[in-house]
Every structure is written in C-alpha cells, then in structure tokens.
Structure 1
Amino acid sequence: MVNPEDSNGNLVLSYMRAREEEGWQIVETMVSKKDSYHSSVIGYNKGGLIVPVGGLRGFVPASQISFTRRAGMTGDTPEQRWSRMIGQEIDVCVIEVDRERRRLILSERQASSETRDSLKERVIDELKEGQIVVGRVTSLAEFGVFVNVNGADGLVHLSEISWDRITHPNEVLKVGQEVKVKVISIDREKKRIGLSIRQLLSDPWDQKAAEFQVGQLIEGTITRLTKFGAFARLSDDIEGLIHISEISEKRIEHPKEVLKEGDSCTLRIIKI
C-alpha cells in the first residue's frame, strides 16, 4: 500500500514496491542463514558483475568473484574483462544488505567450496611440462615475475623472461599484462609451477650466427686475456674465443706473450 486512499477514497497500491519489499526480505534472510542463490550475470561495471537476486540488482565485486572465473579474465578495460561473462550462470551468497542505500553486495567466492589452495592443486594436476598457455602478470619481483595461469600463480625466473640481459622484470613487463608462457617445471609436492617466456621467443643468436661461416676471415678486437686464451669482439654484441693453442705457432704459456687488450687482428672462424 502506497497511500491509505486517494482523493476519491480508493486504496493506492504498488505491485513493484511489494515485489521489492519481498526481495529485501529474501536477501535479509539469506545473509543471516548464509544461503547461496543460483542466478546469472546480467551486467557489469568497472568494479565487478551485476547479478539479480530476489528481484533486486546485486553487485559482485571483483575481489569476490571465484578464482576459477577470474582466471578466465582477459583484457585491460571493464568491457574486455567482464562482457563475455554476461549470461553465464553463477552461485552467490549475500554478504551485505543496506536498504537505505539500496546496497546489495554478493560473493561468488563464499558460495564456492573451491579455495585458492584446492584450485592450485587442480591446475597443477592438469598442467604438463612443455605445455604453452596464456596467463596474466600478477606481481613483479627482483628475481622474476609471477603469472596467473588458469587461476594459479607460476614463477617466471628473471633468466627466463628475455634473451636480452635485464636487471628487473619491470624493464619489459607490467602487472596486468597478458603473456604467453611455457611450463618448464612442476613441483607437485611444493606446489610450484616454473614458467618461461624466453623459450617461446626466437633466439637472437641463431640470426647472428647465420652472419658467420666456418672458414671465414674476419676482423676482431681483443677484449680479454685469460690463461686458456683470448676473447675477441667480432661485432657490437658478439665475441669469440681464440684458444691459447690457436694464438701462435710457437708454444706460449699465456696469451699476453703475443696479444694485449685493444689489439686488432685478422681471425679465421674454425667453429660455430
């Protein structure tokens, strides 16, 4: 009932308000009993998903979306992340009800029995070494980068990020970035996943080595001397080793007897 009566003495009723009142009663009961509710995603905003419960529009924040569903998220914009989820079925629990502010907060995570640990166990069981998968960067550290793969984090060690020498992952990667990775190790006992980005990239050495041939004469500059030989720079980023036995026709004890750093020499390539 909206008003006891109008100017003509008739009762004024509202079906929509009655349905809404019934909806608030339903969700208040659900939050106290911690019941789950089966529904479907009807929309989204920048922070999460819109799901109807008892005739009301509820909001599932990104932090309350299940690990499994979040693992399937891709893209940088809300539309890219959430739009493909519209129409998908979802089970939720009511975690906050505020009638005055018309606020209804839901959680898929609390309605799911799958925990982060159980999800990781499942992912580890499904993954195989050598498998190539797409993941998303979740955090950066000095020793490497963590990438979420199907809901579980794996580590890409610093040495497995790039063929180029880098001192920190932030030189080439950022949090949220989508990357293709290769599974290179799985420790089921310690629940660790080892990943590599570098192994999916072409080795620059193959292209550079193609510029040289065995038997070719080339100019080089001596860069270092060691007991077993001398290193010569052939180009900006290619060095070759001259073994001590290949430096002189005479027997020598150390390359410094014949060479010094900075010397320019004509060299013959004998092995690649």
Structure 2
Amino acid sequence: MSEDMNQVEVANYEAGDRVKGQVTKVEEKQVIVNIENSKLDGIIPISELSSLHVEKAEDVVSEGNVLELEVLKVEEDALILSKRKVDAEKAWEKLEEQFESGEVFEAEVKDVVKGGLVVDLGVRGFVPASLVEAHFVEDFTDYKGRQVTFKIVELDKAKNRLILSHRAVVEQENSRKKQDILDTLEAGQVLEGTVQRLTDFGAFVDIGGVDGLVHISQLSHEHVEKPSDVVQEGQKVQVKVLSVDRDNERISLSVKETLPGPWSNIEEKAPKGSTLEGTVRRLVSYGAFVEVFPGVEGLVHISQISHRHIGTPHEVLSEGQEVKVKVLDVNVDDQRLSLSMKDFEEREDQYPQDYEMPEESKGFQLGELLGDKLKNLKQ
C-alpha cells in the first residue's frame, strides 16, 4: 500500500478509538501490530504494554497475539496505540464490582518492592507490608511469582489507587473458623491443642483456630508456681473443655482434668503395710497431714506419731519436715490414707511384738477433720 493510501487510512482514526491488532513484530522497546481489517501498522511503545514496569516487550506479548488497543495518537502513516489503557478500563469495572462485593480472588505477585508487594490486575495493585499477613514477615522475597488470595480494601480510580490485602482474607477465614468451633464446642469435650503462649495466670491453647485459657490451677493436680514449669509454647496437650462463653468468645480449658488423678491406683502405689517417704504439710490438733505423692496426703493420727504420749503434734513435728511413714489403711472411695510414724521412732525400749494398736489410731473421723477446718475458719 502506498504512503498516500496509508495516509488516507490513518485519517479514518482518531485518539480514543478502540481497535484490534495482531502482533507482527516484538522489538525491545516497542511492539508492531497490524490493524484488523486494514493494511495499516500500529506501534505500541513498551510503556503502554502494561500498568507495571516492563523491562522487555517480549515478557508481555508474542508474535501472533491479537490485542484490543486504544489509539493514543494518529501519525502520518501509523497509529500509536496503548494496550495498558484498554486493560485498565476493563480492569476498573471488574475491580469496582469486587470491591463492592468484598470478593476474595487469587492473583500472582508480580514484584516485591520496598514497603510491600505489587500485583497486576490490569492496573497496578499494591499490598502494603502490614496487609500481607496477620503475622510479622521479615523478608517478602519468596512471595514473588506466588499465587495469593486478596481482597480490595481501598479503591480510587481517579487517583489510580488500588490497595489490596491478604491479611484481611486470613483474618476473615480465621474468624469463620473460630465461629464454627465456638458453635460446636461443648463443656466436657476432650481435644488436642497446642500451647500458644504463657502468662503468669495460665496458658493459652489453640484448639484448631481458636484459643482457650487453661488457668494455672487447671494445669496439674500438683501446685504450680508458674506455667512454664509444666508446659512450653508449641507443646501438644490434651485439654478438657470446662466452659464456653460464645458471646464473649471465651473458652475455659483444663489439662488437669485429662490427667490421671493423684489418687488413681493408690492401692498399688501405697498398699497397706508399705513404707513411704513424705513431707509434713499441715499440723492439726489431732495429728499431721503428710504428702506421700503429689496431691496425695495421708493422716498420721496423734497416737501414731510417737510411742510416748504427746500433747500436740507440734512438739515433735514441723511443716515441711521430711518423714518416713507406714501405711495403716487405704480408703480409695473417700480418698483417705491412714499413716503411722511410730515404727520409725528411734528408742531403746520397743513395744512387744504382740502389742495391739489402739482402735482410735486406725483412722480418723470425718468430724475431726471438719472440726479442725471450722476452727481455722473462725480464726
């Protein structure tokens, strides 16, 4: 086609027109296309190929591609075209719909820049570092090229501003999971969880997307000084659900309730006639309570403390003292152990072998125990 005929054809177009063109040549800084239904050529400068920075035109298009383009400028024998403007116009329409609906969509991270990530959605989308994840990320390098889910959190077409968030997607999903779990949790359930963090008053345990609190008193049957003595962050634990407050999203859990009680198998651990070592925990008017296993205390009746008569246990014992005791009786149902120290008392004259223990020393009465507690309360 002659130059005159080209000029005639060029005259049929003006800036803003939409045309289709097939790529005939990809150069380093521009792309040559043939305008559909004509012999006319068009030129797409590399800056008009994409909303993102492009190093080489071949990274965006290939020979044979048919592109929808907008005329930027009409020159004597060719059209200067833009792929970017057409892509952007289409993109804004879709993006506005996605923004209004709160749609979650997937897109490839095109680049990692200072302060966040860049995504090509027909227009340049930016993900600030604080909106990438719900947790802190030090290095975003490996995000480049990854498919990630996003929501649009800010859109301003006039300012060409598009802000995306992956964090919002994560938090939305976590919130949904949390609600699902809260709806299905019931007191009494036993679940596996992971210790998330420790505080002075207990441990927060993740039970599948929602955290529950194990109060320090529910960590063990034994007395716990600080949670880190019993559990560590990241540790898997069995927990029992004590209560669920759905309105305030609070869950109370117990590790202690999943563990064998201190009195479990006590008949095997402390059979009648066996000798144990223990610690004097409390002194009362009628005897001494000695802890022989964590959480297991037995009573040494005052008559079983010494062969000689004593007025009060304080005469020969003190709290915290380590002592040796003999098991006289085991009552599993009432969780009671009757103990004796007399056999281990150092003395020259021993009772004869056929000496029979006084009847009152074979145990202790519930009334005595309650009476002592009532005295303490009155004080």
TM over 0.5, yes or no? yes
| Residue 54 in structure 1 maps to residue 113 in structure 2 | no
Secondary structure of the residue aligned to 2:183 is: helix
Quote the residue 1:17 is aligned against.
49
Bigger drift between 183-192 and 236-245 goes to 236-245
Residues 64, 220 of structure 1: CA spacing in aligned structure 2 closer, same or farther, 3 A cutoff? Answer: closer
CA drift at 1:142: 1.4
Aligned-partner residue type, residue 34 of structure 1: F
Indicate yes or no: 2:165 matched with 1:106.
Answer: yes
The aligned residue for residue 179 of structure 1 is 236
Superposed displacement of residue 270, structure 1? 0.8
Report the AA paired with residue 270 of structure 1: D
Q: Residue in 2 aligned with 1:39? A: 105
Q: Whole-Å Cα distance in 1 between the matches of residues 222 and 294 of structure 2?
A: 14
Of 118-127 and 104-113, more deviation after overlay is shown by: 104-113
Q: Which has the larger radius of gyration?
A: 2
Letter in 1 for 2:121: G
User: How big is the shift at 1:29?
Assistant: 8.0
Instruction: Work out the CA distance in 1 between the residues paired with 2:259 and 2:107.
Output: 38
Instruction: Give the aligned partner of residue 260 of structure 1.
Output: 317
Q: What one-letter code is carried by the residue in structure 1 that aligns with 2:168?
A: R
Distance 1:112 1:236 in 2: 43
Give the alignment of 1:81-96 within 5 angstroms. 90=149, 92-95=151-154
Residue 269 of structure 1 pairs with residue 336 of structure 2: no
**What SS does structure 2 have at the residue aligned with 1:109?**
helix
Could you tell which deviates more after superposition, 154-163 or 212-221?
A: 212-221
SS of the aligned residue for 2:186 comes to coil
The number of residues matched between the two structures is 243
Larger RCO (CA under 8 A, 6+ residues apart): 1
In the aligned structure 2, how far is the partner of 1:149 from the partner of 1:124?
10
Query: Which amino acid is the alignment partner of residue 17 of structure 1?
Result: L
The 3 A distance-change label for structure 1 pair 236 and 184 is closer
Partner of residue 141, structure 1:
199
Q: Alpha carbons of 1:253 and 1:129: their partners in 2 closer, same or farther (altered >3 Å)?
A: same
Distance in structure 2 (CA, Å) of the matches to 1:29 and 1:178: 46
Residues 118-140 of structure 1, C-alpha deviation per residue, up to 9 Å, x if partnerless?
87555322111222334444443
Percent identity, aligned pairs only? 25
Partner of residue 123, structure 1: 181
Relative to structure 1, is the Cα distance of residues 178 and 269 closer, same or farther in structure 2, using a 3 angstrom cutoff?
A: same
Note the 1:144-159 alignment, pairs <5 A. 144-159=202-217
CA 1:197–1:219: 2 relative to 1, 3 Å: closer
Instruction: Tell me, in whole angstroms, the C-alpha distance in 2 between the residues paired with 1:41 and 1:263.
Output: 69
Report if aligned partners of 2:197, 2:205 keep a CA contact under 8 Å in 1: yes
RMSD between superposed Cα atoms in Å: 5.5
Q: Residue 329 of structure 2 aligns to a residue in which SS?
A: coil
Asked if structure 2 preserves the Cα contact closer than 8 Å seen for 1:220 and 1:266, the reply is yes
Structure 1 alignment gaps of length 5 or more: 79-85, 98-102
Residues 226-261 of structure 1: per-residue CA shift (max 9 Å, x gap): 21311346579975321346557999753346x434
Partner Cα distance (1:185, 1:144) in 2: 16
Inter-partner Cα distance in structure 2 for 1:10 and 1:159: 78
